[in-house]
Amino acid sequence: MAVLNEEQSMLRDAAKSWTQEKSPVTAFRKMRDSGVDIGYDAKAWNEMAEMGWAGVIIPEEYGGSAFGYLSMGLILEELGRTLTASPLIASGVGAASALALGGSDAQKSEWLPKIADGSVVGALAVDEGAHHAPEKVALAATKSGAGYSLSGTKTFVIEGLAANLLVVSARTSGAPGDKDGITLFLVPADAKGVSRKRLALADSRGAANITFDKVEVGADAILGAADKGWEVLEKTLDRVRAALAAEMLGAANQAFETTLDYLKVRVQFGQVIGSFQALQHRAAKMFTDLELARSAVEAALQAIDADSPDVPELVSLSKAKMGDVFHLVSNEMVQMHGGIGMTDAHDSGFYLKRARAAEAAFGSQSYHRDRYARINGY
């Protein structure tokens, strides 16, 4: 574990005790069974916001605490352990980072305090196909009067149904695949012409496909500069990927610990199954991988806090490594529990489903291995 300062230790301890007491996995199960369409418990989100978690990366002048990304990661790791669903990543990292990195003073003053206190939920509307491909933007923003008119569809917008504010990547010039010609817009989710379709996902989290039909926005809706949105978008995405990796780290560690506990109590052939070396070595392998993944995740978050030039490389490294490890651990969780792991009443399935959704979101292992290679010119 990274060496923490006093603030960070306190934040982590607060997150640990809140999730254990207020938001154990049974709370996630309850949320899923209730069929709530936004994919999280609004009351729990209010409590998180009251504790200031939505503002952890937001500058103090805009109502945040500016503790930084490693601190945010510590919270997300604890939330990940109990699979707590919330818009913290989409809003408190995604929308907040986009505004902090690219927003004008007016935009920041308007939105960041509300994001920090949880009264506004922001989301990133980026992808348009079955796979994460942020440069493949086709959604068109054409000049219309003094402003722009947006038409097109965004898919798999995480927290897209709950969001009040959408950060939308649109094409103002060039062709899908070009990094130039992408412009970011701030679009209120209730703007005329925005329609949302809830996605019922295997991991029961909130997401939507969003269609923009001639949505009129003013020129002041542009986040950053027209045609030059890519840099802010990529930096924002890297922050979201690192944050997601931190959540995955917590979930994978909990999946592992739950499995380890089971290996110590389940008896077959007159001995605990954890006494079989066939399982011991796989447990040791998972533990090894989890330690490696922790280093990768923490390094990426620390690089973001230090505004280091190797952020993209370290983020892709961490998302690829973390994805592989969560994939492995979630599969082993089911396998090592035997029949009980296949039942809905057990938690194994939740971790398995969450693992695949988190792996696919904001770039799969394949995507990030490839990106890492490109960054390094391999």
Partner 1 sequence: MADFGGGDPEAFRKEVREWVEANFPAELKGRPNPMMREERAKPSEAQEAWRKAVGSKGWGTPTWPKQYGGGGLSSAEARVIQQEFGRAGAYNPIGGMGVMMFGPTLLEYGTEDQKLEHIPLICRGDVQWCQGFSEPGAGSDLAALQTRAEDKGDHFLINGQKIWTSGAQYADWCFCLVRTDTSKKHEGISFVLFSMHQPGVEVRPIKLIAGSSPFCETFFTDARAEKKNLVGPLNGGWTIAKRLLQHERGGLSGAGGGGGMGGRSLVDLAREYVGVDDQGRIADPDLRTRVVQHEIEGRSFQQTAVRAMLESKGNSGPSAATSIMKNAGTSWMQLRHELTLEIMGHQGLGWEGDAFKPEELGAVRGWLGGKAFTIYGGSQEVQSNIISKRILGLPDLTQHN
Ligand X SMILES: Cc1cc2nc3c(=O)[nH]c(=O)nc-3n(C[C@H](O)[C@H](O)[C@H](O)COP(=O)(O)OP(=O)(O)OC[C@H]3O[C@@H](n4cnc5c(N)ncnc54)[C@H](O)[C@@H]3O)c2cc1C
Cβ 342 to ligand X shortest distance, Å: 4
Among 145, 270, 309, 377, binds partner 1 (CB under 8 A): 270
Are 287 and 257 in contact by the 8 Å Cβ rule? The answer is no
Q: What is the rounded CA–CA span in Å between residue 28 and residue 51?
A: 20
Contact residues toward ligand X (CB under 6 A) are 266, 268-269, 273, 276, 278-279, 335-336, 338-339, 342
The amino acid occupying position 128 is E
Q: Given the complex with ligand X, which of 207 and 336 has the nearer CB atom?
A: 336
Residue nearest to ligand X (CB): 338
User: Considering the complex, what minimum distance in angstroms separates the CB of residue 262 from partner 1?
Assistant: 13
Site string for partner 1, 114-143 (x = CB under 8 A): -------------x-xxxx-----------
Rounded to a whole number of angstroms, the minimum distance from the CB of residue 270 to partner 1 is 4
* Calpha distance 169→154 (Å, rounded): 9
Asked if residue 177 binds partner 1 (CB under 8 A), the reply is no
Which window, 223-231, 254-262, 303-311, 360-368, contacts partner 1 (CB under 8 A)?
360-368
- Sole binder of partner 1 in the list 145, 309, 339, 377 (CB under 8 A): 339
Residue 184 C-beta: closest distance to partner 1, Å: 21
Hey, which residues between 193 and 252 contact partner 1 (CB under 8 A)? Answer: 197-204, 209
Q: Is 101 in the site for partner 1 (CB under 8 A)?
A: no
- 200 phi, psi to nearest 5 deg: -90, 105
In eight-state DSSP terms, residue 228 is B
Asked if 81 and 19 count as a contact pair (C-beta separation under 8 A), the reply is yes
The entry of ligand X, partner 1, none near residue 146 (CB within 5 to 8 angstroms by kind) is none
Report the distance separating Cα 244 and Cα 254, nearest Å.
15
| Chosen from ligand X, partner 1, none, partner binding at 3 (C-beta under 5 to 8 Å by type) | none
Q: Count residues near partner 1 (CB under 8 A).
A: 48
Q: Least Å distance between CB 357 and ligand X?
A: 23
Largest Cα span, the chain: 79
DSSP 76: H
Residue 153 phi, psi dihedral angles, 5° rounding: -130, 135
271 interacts with partner 1 by CB under 8 A: yes
316-325 burial code (b ≥16 CB/10 A, e <16): bbbbbbbbbb
CB of 376 to partner 1, least distance (A): 15
Asked if 377 interacts with partner 1 (CB under 8 A), we say no
**Helices 348-360 and 311-337 meet at what angle, rounded to 10?**
150
Question: Is position 378 an interface residue for partner 1 (rule: CB under 8 A)?
Answer: no
Q: Position 136: which residue type? A: K
Please state the closest distance from residue 292 (CB atom) to ligand X, in A: 24
List the x/- string, 156-175, binding to partner 1 by CB under 8 A: x-------------------
Provide, rounded to whole angstroms, the least separation between the CB of residue 149 and partner 1: 25
- Those residues whose C-beta lies under 8 Å from the C-beta of residue 29, and which sit 6 or more positions away, are 350
The smaller minimum CB distance to ligand X, of residues 218 and 338, is found at 338
Specify which residues 171 forms β-bridges with. 140, 182
To the nearest whole angstrom, how small is the minimum distance from the Cβ of residue 271 to partner 1? 6
Query: Measured between alpha carbons, how far is 312 from 283 in angstroms, rounded to an integer?
Result: 31
Query: Which of 267, 280, 281, 284 contacts partner 1 by CB under 8 A?
Result: 267
Question: At closest approach, how far in Å is the CB of 81 from ligand X?
Answer: 23
Decide: 157 and 210 in contact? Cβ < 8 Å: yes
Asked if residue 126 lies in contact with residue 163, where contact means CB atoms within 8 angstroms, the answer is no
* Rounded Cα gap, residues 209 and 216, in angstroms: 19
The tokens for 296 are 């990768």
Q: Which residue, 56 or 207, is less far from partner 1 as judged by CB? A: 207
- Nearest Cα to Cα of residue 90 among 12, 31, 163: 163
Residue with tokens 């995480």, as numbered in its chain? 158
Q: Using CB under 8 A, list all residues that contact partner 1.
A: 127, 129-132, 155-156, 197-204, 209, 267-271, 273, 276, 278-279, 331, 334-335, 338-339, 341-345, 348-349, 352-353, 356-357, 360, 364-367, 369-370
